[in-house]
Structure 1
């Protein structure tokens, strides 16, 4: 080895260098004599081009001999052996891990192949058993059926008011607030029942839930037809609404089951005629029935209508695809005696877990999501004002103007016409929606484009209320036509707010749309049931003009809500933890 001292040289000086660490790192060490610098190099057997220098951490003037250098060389060789052994072990370990990964991958592939082999699904995109592929005429028959079922339930919510004078006379009631409780309990039933009925329809199919609930609805109408006191009517109406709410909770889902996205706008516009006009049709036809047949005829009419639409429902097949596939998978398991057959919609949660999730999520979203809270407040107030009008109109037209019940019911014609106008404007709303720019981040038109019409409707609704308030008192404005015409902008504004405001919520929350909509329904029905309780005293104490002006001012104060969301809705949505989580999930899909 070049530069080593001869046997007669007794001393060399070693300068800095860490043997173990630096050998491992492949660095060069200098063994420096106190009088001269001497590089001690040892060729690497496996790599002749690399040079390693033996050395160890010593004091600058430390004295060492040849034996010390030989010891360093031996130490270096041992280190290389350890490194080589470790490399072999690591390589063997990597091979074992690779074999294990390959085995796991093969196992997963076999599992996936087995999953696909025994997966029960539709027989191609044109499978006639898929509700989306049913005949167009039959699908529209299903649409009309669920619309009539919904109309029956909503009709009874307001037609009840037409019979109020007869009930007060027969039961000796003088306080109008007691009578109005019948509306309150009915709307409360419509508010909370969908939270339970919706998950039930997802577990057992829509048609089974429809048939059972509407049958119970028919049964519960009978005690009200035969009621001997107002307590029975108020209490039973709550339970009747609970089962009747199946139409409000499941009808939108039924339409989504049988119509493809490109056809749903038209389908929902047709369906909206029933729930939007039901409140107006109630007092309109209820006044005629009460005038000639008495207040009990209102309930008998509902009983006949409910039985008819319930019977019609037996001609509607099950529409919920996940339930149909679960049934198909079950039949396959039974026929083949092979438990491996399954559908992608088989349950992973227990009944109570699913029910608890559906009960709590809407309430949590209602109080934690700014979008849900603001829109629930806005829609609930407008909905409450609508139901307060069912108390105000009889006061204005029957008591102040002296109209008979048959004619006071016709006063709601303005609201009915306005509602039809709002529904008929759907093509215009769609035209305005399609003119909005596409969001470059999502590649779609933003949900806020849906509420451009709501911004206009937010002005129409209070305009109609102001006109009604300032023309309803015959001592101020004698012609009655003006307060009836006031219902047209009011009804138009309400229909646009309810339809497209709800669509905005549904489009904003994607897979959580049902929960967002359920929370909106709870708030709307609760406030719509409670506020009418104060309407009789309010209109009696303040007079219809002042009371109506207060309601118009309330609607005016809320005008900024849709405008704020139209302008800054995206920024508000981007601050939602729930929507941010959903966006991340989509990003990683």
Structure 2
């Protein structure tokens, strides 16, 4: 026994001689936790070992996905809720229906601009703070819409509603990429895309019923209540999903724990039989940048991706046009069904059910096709693998528009153009899903920034198209206007085919995509 004591004393002396050097250790989810020396019960317990979001339990992943997709429904709901109470608000404020469309435009402007800052910010500082901040802005702005006594006040409130709700659309794609690996991501992405479109159809439907039976302000009170409740639930239950943020927080906690242990007599850590002074860090340094640098990165990264990355540019153009048509339908659908069938606001709201049904069918079909993929010998080997089904399904977008154009007339039952709208919605849904999946697979860490660039373009067109609705349908008539849109949609259907063929070569020339991998 004395001999063992002497050996331990000699080892302690040896360790003590080498204890002045601090070793900078890169922290990962696999980093083992060294043991303190000398051992003591006085030391506080070290921070718990982190688990990668990829390795979360299925229950935790499902809960995070469901919560994120629920707020996506509320975000989509808000986008089309402004049109239903339009006639009442126009009469109260002596404002034309064309000017009232600006409520949708300002919402889209806020929706387009905010992700340029918030999405990259969430990649650097974390999803959780941005999620909660956006929810608070969303709640306050919806309350402002309900309480305002002026049209200008409504436009300002709608702008901030777009700012708040934008994160729930753009960032959720990044959250899905945070917690699901490529080969298991499609179902979650399909549910997310379905939630966005289901909410878009649900907004005019529910708002039309509320506006028909209650005071117009309740259209926005209902949204404020739902948004406020979800923000509170998120504050309690939502957990950070961003890998670099989790590791950075854990590194700081470990360094603080190490400093406390040193004050209690710990001389170092036993690292593979060697006594070392350790300082933990992570590979990325973005979490330590200044606010000015952070804003510069937030604004420049999405624009850089949009301008320099052909994948982002062409997908942005494709989804932007589809999104513009979707928002044009908020005014075009009431106009066409009122002209052809004499529908009132409640009946028109009911027709918007076709959008919600189209979203549900689109999600169901895409989830089924994804599960059928292995049987067809088509595994996910590259981002282009995501486009095989989309290359065919995207033709439902122009097909639905053509059918709507030539069947929306008094001599044909209203259910036929309603089905056509559902078909077009499935096509737009497929485009949205393909864009999100392909972008997440290609850009991984910067998926939210790439999606923010696409959000900018699609929401600008989403805000502009409704302003042209009356002029387009008046000059080109219903068949001509919808056929023109269908023709453009048909031309843009070449985008996924081009990426399917040339995508690998395009990605190989991308410095950003190669840098990320």
TM range (shorter): 0.7 to 0.9
CA apart distance, 1:410: 1.2
Q: Aligned to 1:255, which of 163, 171, 176?
A: 176
- The 2-side partners of 1:510 and 1:139 are apart by 18
- Cα gap change, 1:550 to 1:112, in 2 (>3 Å): farther
- Cα gap change, 1:363 to 1:120, in 2 (>3 Å): closer
Matches within 5 A, 1:171-570: 171-174=93-96, 176-313=97-234, 314-337=236-259, 340-344=278-282, 345=284, 347=287, 349-430=289-370, 434=374, 435=376, 445-474=381-410, 477-570=411-504
TM-score with structure 1 setting the length = 0.72
CA apart distance, 1:463: 0.8
- Cα gap change, 1:446 to 1:231, in 2 (>3 Å): same
CA apart distance, 1:357: 2.4
- Cα gap change, 1:571 to 1:322, in 2 (>3 Å): closer
Q: Deviations over 1:381-401 (max 9, x none)?
A: 111111111111111223442
Secondary structure of the corresponding residue to residue 160 of structure 1: coil
- Cα gap change, 1:112 to 1:382, in 2 (>3 Å): farther
- The 2-side partners of 1:134 and 1:570 are apart by 31
- Cα gap change, 1:418 to 1:403, in 2 (>3 Å): same
Q: Deviations over 1:186-209 (max 9, x none)?
A: 111111111211233234332222
Asked whether 1:157 is paired with 2:93, we answer no
CA apart distance, 1:407: 1.4
- The 2-side partners of 1:454 and 1:488 are apart by 17
Q: Deviations over 1:335-370 (max 9, x none)?
A: 332795323155454333243223213213322333
- The 2-side partners of 1:382 and 1:268 are apart by 18
Structure with larger RCO (C-alpha < 8 A, sep 6+): 2
Q: Deviations over 1:502-523 (max 9, x none)?
A: 3223333455544332221111
- The 2-side partners of 1:538 and 1:437 are apart by 43
Secondary structure of the corresponding residue to residue 543 of structure 1: helix
- Cα gap change, 1:168 to 1:448, in 2 (>3 Å): same
- Cα gap change, 1:370 to 1:333, in 2 (>3 Å): closer
- Cα gap change, 1:502 to 1:130, in 2 (>3 Å): closer
- The 1-side partners of 2:393 and 2:318 are apart by 12
Q: Deviations over 1:517-556 (max 9, x none)?
A: 2221111111111121101222233322222122112212
CA apart distance, 1:411: 0.8
- Cα gap change, 1:297 to 1:245, in 2 (>3 Å): same
How large is the RMSD of aligned CA atoms in angstroms?
3.0
CA apart distance, 1:134: 4.4
Secondary structure of the corresponding residue to residue 245 of structure 1: helix
Q: Contact 1:194/1:518 (CA < 8 Å) preserved in 2? A: yes
TM-score with structure 2 setting the length = 0.82
- The 1-side partners of 2:483 and 2:214 are apart by 35
- The 1-side partners of 2:421 and 2:120 are apart by 37
CA apart distance, 1:453: 1.9
Asked whether 1:115 is paired with 2:51, we answer no
- The 1-side partners of 2:453 and 2:54 are apart by 29
- Cα gap change, 1:348 to 1:297, in 2 (>3 Å): closer
- Cα gap change, 1:223 to 1:514, in 2 (>3 Å): closer
Q: Contact 1:122/1:130 (CA < 8 Å) preserved in 2? A: no
- Cα gap change, 1:356 to 1:398, in 2 (>3 Å): same
Q: Residue in 2 aligned with 1:85? A: none
- Cα gap change, 1:452 to 1:243, in 2 (>3 Å): same
Secondary structure of the corresponding residue to residue 546 of structure 1: helix
CA apart distance, 1:181: 0.8
Q: Contact 2:195/2:359 (CA < 8 Å) preserved in 1? A: no
- The 2-side partners of 1:196 and 1:182 are apart by 22
Matches within 5 A, 1:53-68: none
- The 1-side partners of 2:252 and 2:75 are apart by 35
Q: Contact 1:151/1:274 (CA < 8 Å) preserved in 2? A: yes
Q: Which runs of 4+ in 1 moved over 6 A?
A: 109-113, 123-126
Q: Contact 1:227/1:233 (CA < 8 Å) preserved in 2? A: yes
Secondary structure of the corresponding residue to residue 114 of structure 1: strand
Q: Contact 1:120/1:329 (CA < 8 Å) preserved in 2? A: no
Q: Contact 2:190/2:366 (CA < 8 Å) preserved in 1? A: yes
Secondary structure of the corresponding residue to residue 185 of structure 2: helix
- The 1-side partners of 2:21 and 2:474 are apart by 72
- The 2-side partners of 1:507 and 1:111 are apart by 45
Secondary structure of the corresponding residue to residue 23 of structure 2: helix
